[in-house]
Structure 1
């Protein structure tokens, strides 16, 4: 009985894990805000309202990520700073790979849909993003 439960549990775990495909990568284009962070111990921190959002622009598997501050009129303010990256397929897993003069780091892409994506970094922190929806003061 225990063996059967173990096999079913493994099947459920691997069957429910979504694999990121090359075609999914294009869904990363656009504005994103952090929904939650999951720590290595399983604790989570939820984010309700964000003062900044990430703008991701891809051209194939190269792109940049830029911090943007939404304004009430629907526009954004930002600096000229952008973090360039490439997306690599590393052993069947897609990764953001960042490199600048001061450091380099990777984030494994865990899942992508049109409305959400998540990454895990080298410190085992999982960031879940939701697509940013502009807020309108019009009623």
Structure 2
């Protein structure tokens, strides 16, 4: 009986896995900060405060990603380093294909909402991001 119940729970869990809705991929646009990282062995590291944010900008499944440094006056220090970003749909997965003059890599976009994004590396490291709403932006992303 216990084995049957565990098997049924496993099927329900796998069947309910959340897929990324590619039609909402523009949700990635904007500033994000890493809130925690969980490695493949389950070790977790929290990031309660970050000075470095990740900025994503895509349109029609193409765009870029760059790191920006937050300043106390609410602005960001930006340099010329960025990664080109292409969104690829492979079967049921949404893959972020990054490339720059320093190399290439692909990560899986596991989930995304207006508040949180989870990206998984090939090494099974999960990066949890929180959306950053700037003071001059409203909830819908428009400048006030």
Length-normalised TM-score, structure 1: 0.89
For residues 56-110 of structure 1, the C-alpha deviation after alignment (integer angstroms, 9 at most, x for no partner) is 1111200111111111221111112111110100122001011233321100000
Which residue pairs with 2:43 in the alignment?
43
Q: Which residue of 2 aligns with 1:13?
A: 13
Q: Runs of 5+ in structure 1 lacking a partner?
A: none
Let me know the Cα RMSD of the aligned residues. 1.6
- Name the structure 1 match of 2:65: 65
2:93 maps to 1:93: yes
1:54 and 2:21 aligned: no
TM-superposed deviation, 1:16: 4.1
Moved over 4 A (4+): none
Q: Which residue of 1 aligns with 2:142?
A: none
> Quick one: distance in 2 between partners of 1:126 and 1:43?
10
Is structure 2 residue 96 aligned with structure 1 residue 107? Answer: no
Contact 2:82 2:100 in 1 (8 A): no
List alignment gaps of at least 5 residues for structure 2. 136-144
Measure the CA separation in 2 of the matches of 1:75 and 1:57.
Answer: 17
Cα distance in 1 for residues equivalent to 2:91 and 2:67: 30
How many residues matched?
A: 135
Counterpart CA distance in 2 for 1:35 and 1:16 is 25
